[in-house]
Amino acid sequence: MDIIVDGYNVIFKISELGYRTEKCDIEILRNRLLTLLEQYKEKRKHKLIVVFDGQGAGNSSETRAAGIDVVFSRQGLDADEEIKRMVCGSENPRHITVITSDRDIEQYVKKYGSKVVNPLAFYSDIKKKVAHMQTSGQEISHTQEGDDEPTSKYLGPSKSEAQYWFNVFSNKIGKQFDD
């Protein structure tokens, strides 16, 4: 099964990602979502595609270390049109689930037999899977509903982010000793 995530639609429906409580760069919000999805993907082996409006870091698409495809809409298209194009161009659209609350996208992809899941329901599933994976049977109260802290605070970095920061700090420490 393929899962296509309407990136900004999901970010702005899930307040726990921090868009309401913090004034921060949209790239930070994107990375929080992608980190959460990377941890979810470790548990679920579906193909995961996240679609955002506009150009990202200069690429129209990239693949994250965890195997998540990140697509930025092409010039002249928005994420909605990109998602519709992916569904109608699919060999088997019945095996696609689209995560969005956009009614226009929902109506369009359902014509092709694709399933649509609301971002809050998807997020709830992610929290359960990731919390179960992280705790290995231990109960953590901060992942319960009603917690004001963003879940990303408790999840920690993904493997790829941890490796990135390890490399950054390893290089800085090495440079200090060379001086």
CB 134 within 8 A of CB 36: no
Inter-CA distances, 93 with 44, 55, 71, 132, 143, Å: 19, 26, 18, 30, 34
What pLDDT is recorded for position 143? 42
In the chain, pLDDT over 70 holds for what percent of residues?
68
Checking if the pLDDT of 92 tops 50, the result is yes
When pLDDT is cut at 50, 70 and 90, the band that residue 36 belongs to is: confident
What pLDDT is recorded for position 157? 63
Number of domains in the chain: 1
| pLDDT, greater one: 159 or 8 | 8
3-state helix, strand, coil in the chain (%, to 5): 50, 15, 35
Q: What is the pLDDT of residues 45-76, one digit of tens each?
A: 789 999 998 865 544 556 565 788 999 988 88
Mutual angle of helices 26-43 and 119-135, in 10-degree steps = 60
Residue 123's domain comprises: 2-178
Interval 127-155 mean pLDDT? 55
Residue with tokens 């298209």: 77
Q: What is the CATH number of the domain that holds 26?
A: 3.40.50
Q: Whole-prediction pTM value? A: 0.70
